[in-house]
Amino acid sequence: MDIIKEYLPHLFIGLGMLFSFIGGVLIFVRTNDFNEKIKSQAILNQKLTIENKKLITDNIQMTSLNGELIKKNLELSEQNIELTNQLNLQSESISSNITGGDSYCCIEFSDLNGDQNVILLINKGEYTVHNIHAQFVDLDEIEIINPTIDYFRKNSFHLTELHPKTAKLLGQYDLSEKIDEANFNFRYNAMNGAFNQKLKFRKQDNHWFTATQIKKGDSILYERIDEGFPFKNEREDIWGKIKRQI
């Protein structure tokens, strides 16, 4: 018993050292295992970072490619719009060449103050006017006589076509028979519509002045009043619906 008592402290010390050693080994093993896990996680994180960086790079490339595709699509859209506009213009041009488009004809008297007054039919537009059926009458004459069908037939004519910026000689008219005023009306139908022109002549100080207006339906296409045209009063309505500008 005495021997046990003598060595018991040493035994506890030895056991303590053993337990400490075992504990140290366990801590080392656990620490090493934890470190390995951390190292493995770090490697995994590095791989994921590399893959993520690659995905970001690929995404940037795709975004850039999409941007180029969008830009190319916009360019193609603009080209398609331009091509469509050109086709529309060509279609309108072809149609206008066939029908006459927005061209219109008008009657003009040349050399009003000379001995002979030549009557011209002029195409004012950019396209040929086709199939013109026209009538030109002296309104003052109609008020005096009782016009018949033969009268209107005599004052009517037909033209197959009148090319742009050209004139057709219709005949002569002697304005010397008029005292100080003359009123005419010219109307015609063509492939591009029905038109009406009013012509008014007023004489003052032995000089003729002209006022003319051309309409298609209710739309005024052309109007000209010579400077110095002698109105009968300050607010004369020479066109019926168009008042003189005071």
Domain co-membership, 124 together with 215: yes
For residues 207 and 110, membership in a common domain is answered with yes
**Do 82 and 126 reside in the same domain of the chain?**
no
Let me know: does 123 contact 169? Beta carbons within 8 Å: no
Residues 140 and 169 in one domain: yes
Residue 169 domain boundaries: 105-225
> According to the model, what pLDDT value does residue 4 have?
60
pLDDT at 29: 64
- Alpha-carbon gap, residue 101 to 233, rounded angstroms: 39
Report the relative pairing of strands 193-204 and 207-216 from DSSP bridges: antiparallel
The pLDDT tens digits along the chain (246 residues) read 556 656 666 666 766 676 666 766 666 666 666 667 777 777 877 887 888 788 888 778 887 777 787 888 778 778 878 877 777 777 677 877 788 899 999 999 887 666 568 899 999 999 999 999 999 999 988 888 888 889 889 999 999 999 998 999 998 888 877 888 999 999 999 999 999 999 999 998 888 899 999 999 999 999 999 999 998 887 788 886 433 333
Residues 94 and 175 in one domain: no
What pLDDT is attached to residue 243?
Answer: 39
Domain boundary among 81, 99, 117: 99
If asked whether residues 26 and 40 sit together in one domain, one would say yes
pLDDT score for 127: 94
Q: Domain boundary residue among 99, 128, 147?
A: 99
Assess whether 219 and 116 both reside in one domain. yes
Q: Given this model, what pLDDT does residue 19 score?
A: 64
179-185: Cβ within 8 A, 24+ apart? 179/203, 180/204, 181/140, 182/138, 182/140, 183/138, 183/139, 183/140, 184/107, 184/136, 184/137, 184/138, 184/139, 185/136, 185/137, 185/139
Last residue of some domain: 99, 117, 149?
Answer: 99
Answer yes or no: do 110 and 208 share one domain.
yes
* Collapsed DSSP state (helix, strand, coil) of residue 148: coil
The helix/strand count (H/E) of the chain reads as: 3, 9
Q: E-assigned strands of 85-146?
A: 105-110, 117-123, 129-138
What is the number of structural domains in the chain? Answer: 2
94 plus 109 within the same structural domain: no
Q: Tell whether 40 and 116 lie within a shared domain.
A: no
Clarify whether residues 151 and 69 are in a common domain. no
CATH number where 135 lies: 2.60.40
Residue 245 lies in a domain: no
Reported pTM? 0.62
Whether residue 158 lies inside any domain: the answer is yes
Note the pLDDT of residue 136: 93
Question: Quick one: 144 and 95 in the same domain?
Answer: no
Q: Is 206 helix (H, G, I), strand (E, B) or coil?
A: coil
